[in-house]
Structures are given as C-alpha cells and as structure tokens.
Homo-oligomer: A and B are copies of this chain.
Amino acid sequence: MTDGANTMADGKPERISEAEYAVMEALWVRSPLTAAEVCEEVCQSRDWSLATVKTLLSRLVTKQAIATEPDGRRFLYRPVLARTDYLGGESRRLVDRLFGGRAAPLFAHLAEQEALTDADIAEMETLLKELRK
C-alpha cells in the first residue's frame, strides 16, 4: 500500500451495482474527474445521458465508494474504494457463494469452458510457484 488510500475497514461495504461499476471504472482509470468527464468516458459505450451519470455519481457518493472535492463551482469525483479492494471483494463473494469458498472448482469451471488462454495458464503457473515458496 504505497498509496495513502485507506482501505477503510468499515463494517459493510455497500454493494455497487453494475451500472455504478461502469462509473467506478472510469474513475479508476483517471481521477479526479468532473461529471461531464466521466460521461465522456462512459456515455458512448453505454448509451447514457449525462443525467444518468450524475445520478450514479451521487449514489456512489452516498455509498461512500467515491468522494467529492470542490473545484471552484463544481465537484471533482475520485474513488474512495480502491479498485483492488472491489475486485477482491467481488471475486471472494463469487467464490464463497458458488464454490463454497474454494477457488479450485472455479478454476476447473473456467478451464472446462475454455476460458483460459495460454497466457493465463502461464501466468498462473508462475503465480502458483510463488505461492508455494
């Protein structure tokens, strides 16, 4: 954690919906951003209006996933929830919910679906070696 972003051990991290996640993604790539800038990043691909983005931003503020800082007359938005924490949490949730907390069966399913690329396999081998050390 080179970064000062607190991982903030608040009791219950409020769930982030799929639409909200798209907004988070933009902010994880670059931040802080204004609402309009976020819209530039996501409105084309999802076919949203600026109003929609604003709603999502304020919901994310409520959920304390992002924070605002005043910049003159408007706000800049930046993530509070770290991308890593979110990804880790979601991954964990899936594994717990569907695979009894075991990662191996998940891996097996992905393999069965041929969802693993050669690069994945190579990377994971490296990873596993690391873990055994």
Contact = CB atoms under 8 A, between A and B. Distances in A.
Interface of A: 18, 21, 84, 87-88, 90-92, 94-95, 97-99, 101-113, 115-117, 119-121, 123-125, 127-128, 130-132
A116 B98 contact: no
18 contacts: A18-B97, A87-B109, A88-B112, A91-B94, A91-B106, A91-B115, A92-B110, A94-B94, A95-B115, A102-B119, A103-B116, A103-B117, A103-B120, A104-B120, A104-B123, A121-B131, A124-B124, A124-B128
Contacts of A102: 117, 119-120
Given A103-B124, A124-B103, A113 B98 contact: no
Given A102-B120, A120-B103, A124-B103, A111 B131 contact: yes
A107 B103 contact: yes
Interface centre among A88, A110, A111 (most CB of B within 10 A): A110
Nearest to A113: B88
Contact of A108 (B95, B117, B127): B127
Contacts of A105: 87
A124 B98 contact: no
A121 B104 CA distance: 7
